[in-house]
Structure 1
Amino acid sequence: MADQRSKADGFSAEERAAMKQRADELRASKGLKGAAKLAKELEACVAAIDGLDGVDRQVATLLHGIVTDEAPDLDPKTFYGFPAYARDGKVVVFYQPASKFKTRYGTVSFDDPANLDDGPMWAVSYAVVEVTDAVEKKVRELVKKAAS
């Protein structure tokens, strides 16, 4: 990241904001269970998507639709302020918008519970700079495989 890091703690302002968002996410769902928790997390996920612009919003909207179609068992939530989708509370796939850390591209990324294993090495993060039919097809394939 090209931005200035604080000499006191080594984190950029954007990184500190993301950590604060994660703490807020955990506090917001504390004490909630079942349908109430799922509804609150869905609301937060949709709000995170609605707060994006341009390609970030297009990609996050695409991912949300694909997960809804291909992996409805994954629960929408936020993860450090990112739109994310989890199984049993563990994030499977999320979108990290470029605007979050002022990077050149946003990424569709998969965490450890994703079933993308392919030999001794495989990709878990994909840069997306434009939504195209080919991008949609690839993300759909990855989500289906990850959620299987």
Structure 2
Amino acid sequence: MAKSDTSGGLTAEERDAVKQRAKELREQEKAGKNREAGDKAVRDAIAEMEPDDKVLAEGLYKVVTEVAPDLVPKTYYGMPGFANAEGKIVVFIQAAAKFKTRYATIGFEDRARLDDGDLWPIGFAIRKWTPAVEQQITQLVRKAVG
């Protein structure tokens, strides 16, 4: 008899992310919307990243804190993210190493005001933080909170 798959088809990395999210929700409930606690969690998540991903996450952190200081740092499935006043994630970065992909992704949730007609991108593959990338991300974050 074959062993049944109780993982629901999730990979080990995905199961770990779900467990991380459950832990985050418990911690966030205890801390409330505490900016310092969120900032520490995000900085800790960035510190644990692989060097290439860390540079990207630090770049996003810098842009968001400068362009959208009202967004609250908060982890999202273990990934650095930033939430609105209601505690809902607006933008986050998924490290390439987290799911063993060839590039990191900067993602925007539906609270981001990136709407452009009937179709617009919400996820951006990123491999290197350059001045041009920083400029594009700055414009996207500014629009997302605008």
Instruction: Name the residue aligned to 1:26.
Output: 25
Cα distance per residue 1:79-104 (max 9 Å; x no partner) = 00000000021110000000100001
Q: Which ranges in structure 2 are unaligned for 5 or more consecutive residues? A: none
- Please give the alpha-carbon distance, in whole angstroms, between the structure 2 residues aligned to 1:114 and 1:86: 10
Indicate yes or no: 2:38 matched with 1:52.
no
Instruction: For 1:12, give the aligned amino acid.
Output: T
Instruction: For 2:102, give the aligned amino acid.
Output: R
Cα distance per residue 1:3-47 (max 9 Å; x no partner) = xxx93321100000000000000111223335xx32211110110
| Identical columns (%) | 45
Contact 1:115 1:145 in 2 (8 A): yes
Q: Which ranges in structure 1 are unaligned for 5 or more consecutive residues? A: 1-5
Number of aligned residue pairs: 141
Instruction: For 1:47, give the aligned amino acid.
Output: D
- RMSD over aligned Cα, in angstroms? 1.3
- Please give the alpha-carbon distance, in whole angstroms, between the structure 2 residues aligned to 1:18 and 1:67: 23
- Please give the alpha-carbon distance, in whole angstroms, between the structure 1 residues aligned to 2:11 and 2:70: 35
Instruction: Name the residue aligned to 1:38.
Output: 35
- Please give the alpha-carbon distance, in whole angstroms, between the structure 2 residues aligned to 1:85 and 1:12: 26
Cα distance per residue 1:117-147 (max 9 Å; x no partner) = 0110000000001111111110111011001
Instruction: Name the residue aligned to 2:67.
Output: 70
The two structures have a TM-score, normalised by structure 1, of 0.91
Instruction: Name the residue aligned to 1:112.
Output: 110
- Please give the alpha-carbon distance, in whole angstroms, between the structure 2 residues aligned to 1:78 and 1:90: 11
Instruction: For 2:92, give the aligned amino acid.
Output: F
**Counterparts of residues 84-123 of structure 1 (less than 5 Å):** 84-87=81-84, 88-123=86-121
Q: What's the offset of the Cα at 1:55?
A: 2.1
- Please give the alpha-carbon distance, in whole angstroms, between the structure 2 residues aligned to 1:55 and 1:146: 25
Instruction: Name the residue aligned to 2:132.
Output: 134
Contact 1:55 1:131 in 2 (8 A): no
Contact 1:110 1:125 in 2 (8 A): yes
